Structure 1
Amino acid sequence: MEGHDVKQVAITGGFGFLGWHTACRLRALHGIEPVRLGRQELADPDVLAAALDRADTVIHIAGVNRAATDAEVESGNVSAAESLAVALRASGRPIDVVYANSVQAELDNAYGRGKAAAAGVLSAACADTGGHFADLLLPNLFGEHGRPGYNSFVATFAHEVAAGRTPSVTGDREIELLHAQDAAAALIAATGQDVRTRVAGEAIRISSVLEAFEEFHELYGGRGEIPDVSTAMRLNLFNTYRAAAFADAPAVAPQVHSDNRGDLFETVRSHGGTGMSYASTTKPGQKRGEHYHLHKIERFVVVKGEAEIQLRRLLHDEVVTLRVSGERPVFVDMPTLWVHNIRNVGEDDLLTVFWADQLLDQQNPDQFPETIAQEAHA
């Protein structure tokens, strides 16, 4: 969005997988609170018109991935575009559109035909109104909080393995994958442009994805150890696995070795990649954190005192609260795209050991301020 004066952004499909990731990225890196439009808003001309009245850019993500019939998949993608096109023309002014298209638009299948036809509908509307039209063909997407059985096989594998089950691979082959945050970055960067481009992902075998999740489950799910996250793909897959596993296992207890001198336990065992440890003291009643990360792995281990850790998924209201104590140390790892804090609820100073997989970069710290309670009912 550099060089483009954006008043407001609307996202169709704003409550879905890619829509949520895009809204989070706009907030984190651009300070923009987008108008998020779901199926009901897209189907209501008055609501849609009001949303566009406040926007000069629409990121069109809404569509149909799966339905009862191929005809519904094809027509569903076209009808979503047609609803937006009607509103664009009715606005009476240029509104830029960035379209989250698919590489399948170049294939002859129901989904591809629907996505390709939708591009034609939106391109014509922008031509009529004078708005820019960016058509981005995206490969298979994956990332945190994808819906198993719907968004991708990656989401399905992550949830199955995190639950202790063993999914099988049929028709193993290479698949081009793109993390949802990288897709969101491409969509945002295309704002204000007339362009049709294919966004490249990384090719990986389906079986390799499953093997990575099984490795993560053994090391991390079983022992709280950090696997090798030295490549972007492994880090993104690990964060996807962590998001799937967090609900059932937000804290892991280490093995404590005790003798007459006291207790000893490991706080981090990492199998590859960068990392740094640091510690803090926190006075009674005081709080640390109140931020979130896009990619960083961050671990909290309270070694002395009593604390309360709060976590909230970005753009959601529900808060997860964990009570932890130095008397019974546990590992609590902060999921990516979750706001988190730690507060001293004891009477003495709190001593906490932290670990992050990234060396601190003051110019790009991957740390975005946000309060736990800020968004409730906003």
Structure 2
Amino acid sequence: MKVVITGASGFLGWHTRLRLTARTDHEIVPVGRAEWPNLPALVRGADAVIHIAGVNRADSEEEVPAGNARLAEDLAKAITAKGAPLRVVYANSIQAGNGTPYGTGKDRAAHILHGAVSSVSGHFVDVRLPNIFGEHGRPKYNSFVATFVHATVVEESPSIKDNQVGLLHAQDAAASLIGGLITTSGTLTPEAEEHGVQEVWDLLQEFHATYVPTGEMPDLSTKFRVDLFNTYRAALFPKHYPLQLMPHSDARGSFVETVRCRGGEGQTSFSTTVPGVTRGEHYHLSKIERFAVMRGKATMELRKMFTDEVITFDADGDAPVAVDMPVGWVHNITNTGDETLFTQFWSHELFRPEDPDTFPEPVRQQEQRP
């Protein structure tokens, strides 16, 4: 299936594109601002559209509903110009129709798209999303969680008005949108998990109090804790890395703590790598993974999916360091020394062959290689 994703370069668009790439064989056509003028041609050749592009906030209150409607009208024109059945999955909101500028705009966009899809005898799936949070969200735009994460990293104290909020991680939202590609027409409402605003802030302070000074993993015993911790540590990358590991040495040799974790499951493994060989070349959707070089010299490389910049860390077993791989970033490790490299790997979950959460992808594209 050829799937157009509008808003592909935005927060939820990036997560949806990432999941589609990892979990399906669909041909993906990402559409951002640069590609928007070509929308009619792109839709003409597509089997389905996941419409995520929208306006959350703007300088004027009127621009929020107007902007969402305008984007929907552009897509509606492309749908009717195609003149053939098309499946459209719309990233709507549970706030649609609640009278706020955002809710009004989302509701208006839904009606515009539904009319266009019906006119070509297509399938329209309305996905009502709650508050979304996750890696690479923009503070003061995507969610209060993104704002709290930023405040935590820069050590500011925001004003907090506590109440219960339904939260859904961006990968779970993406899974619902992708599910709309195979469901019948209608409305999907993924279930949110209720959490207090103060609770979210307190958890972030718990993470920050130990992870930044010591590299210690927090309690990761629930999915929400894992999702929130992944969101938090993405905001620390790459400035906070590598993590310095403290050797405790005496006449017998050295002892180095590579991972401390306060709760949840976990798995440790190690590898040996001969000089010149590269391991990894994959990414994860949720797994927390730490690389620690114990002997030898190595280079770790990372690239955020759908971008070109490669970030590099050098490691030497004589001065042990660790790097925690952010989700959605392709990573590898290469033995750059003259002796066998010893690397320890830790992940927050046990390896499950039926669902390893490991997706192959080279860090360096062909044109990037020396």
Indicate the TM-score class for this superposition, using the shorter chain for normalisation.
Answer: over 0.9
SS in 2 for 1:267: coil
1:170 equivalent to 2:173? Answer no
Which structure 1 residue ranges, 4+ long, deviate > 6 Å from structure 2?
Answer: none
Check if 1:338 corresponds to 2:329: yes
What SS does the corresponding residue of 2:208 show, helix, strand or coil? helix
**C-alpha contact (below 8 Å) 2:91/2:177 kept by paired residues:** yes
The alpha-carbon deviation at position 40 of structure 1 amounts to: 4.1
Residue 313 of structure 1: aligned partner? 304
- 1:302 is aligned to 2:293: yes
**1:20 pairs with 2:3:** no
Distance 1:280 1:292, change over 3 A: same
**1:175 to partner: Cα distance:** 1.0
Report Cα offsets for 1:12-35 as digits up to 9, x if no partner.
111100000000000000033411
In structure 1, runs of 5+ residues without a counterpart are 1-5
- Alignment partner of 1:264 is 2:258: no
CA contact (8 A) 1:144 1:239 kept: yes
Secondary structure at the residue paired with 2:258?
A: coil
Q: Shift in Å at residue 251 of structure 1?
A: 1.1
Q: 2:105 aligns with which of 89, 95, 114?
A: 114
Q: Which moved more, 1:253-262 or 1:128-137?
A: 253-262
Conserved? CA contact 1:317–1:376, under 8 Å = no
Within 5 A, what are the aligned runs for 1:1-378? Answer: 6=1, 8-42=2-36, 44=37, 47-163=38-154, 165-192=155-182, 193-374=184-365
C-alpha separation in 2, matches of 1:181 and 1:33: 19
Amino acid corresponding to residue 189 of structure 1 in structure 2: G
Q: Distance in 2 between matches of 1:361 and 1:11?
A: 31
CA deviation profile, 1:247-275 (whole Å, cap 9, x unmatched):
21121112221111111111110101110
State the 1:376 CA deviation.
6.4
Return the alpha-carbon distance in structure 2 between the equivalents of residues 267 and 170 of structure 1: 36
User: C-alpha deviations, 1:42-65, integer Å up to 9, x for none?
Assistant: 3x2xx1112112211000001100
Cα distance in 1 for partners of 2:27, 2:196 equals 37
Q: Distance in 2 between matches of 1:272 and 1:125?
A: 51
| Secondary structure at 1:242 match in 2 | helix
Amino acid across the alignment from 1:36: P
Decide whether the 8 Å contact of 1:23 with 1:33 is kept in 2. no
- Verify the 8 A CA contact 1:290 1:370 in the aligned structure 2: yes
Q: Name the SS of the counterpart of 2:132 in structure 1.
A: strand
Q: 1-side partners of 2:285 and 2:25: how far apart?
A: 14
Tell me which amino acid in the other structure corresponds to 1:41: E
Alignment check: 8 A CA contact 2:246 2:320 kept? no
Q: Secondary structure at the match of 2:364?
A: coil
> What amino acid is the match of 1:216?
F
Q: Which moved more, 1:254-263 or 1:279-288?
A: 254-263
SS at match of 2:327: coil
**Greater shift after overlay, 72-81 or 169-178?**
169-178
Q: Which amino acid aligns with 2:187?
A: R
CA distance in 1, matches of 2:103, 2:367: 38
Q: Secondary structure at the match of 1:199?
A: coil
Q: Is the 8 A contact 1:317 1:375 kept in 2?
A: no
Q: Distance in 2 between matches of 1:169 and 1:238?
A: 21
- CA–CA distance in 1 between the matches of 2:282 and 2:15? 16
CA deviations on 1:258-299 (whole Å, 9 max, x unpaired) are: 111111111110101110101110000001000000000111
Deviations 1:68-122 (A, max 9, x none): 1111101100110000000000011111100000011041111101100110000
Tell me the distance in 2 between the aligned counterparts of 1:311 and 1:31: 24
Q: Distance in 2 between matches of 1:361 and 1:376?
A: 34
Which amino acid is 2:150 matched to?
A: H
Give the AA of the match of 2:171. Q
Deviation of 1:130 (Å): 1.1
Aligned equivalents of 1:110, 1:241: Cα separation in 2:
29
RMSD, aligned α-carbons: 1.2
Residue type of the alignment partner of 2:293: V
Q: Secondary structure at the match of 1:248?
A: coil
SS at match of 2:35: helix
Normalised by the size of structure 2, how large is the TM-score? 0.97
- Matched residue of 1:145: which SS? coil
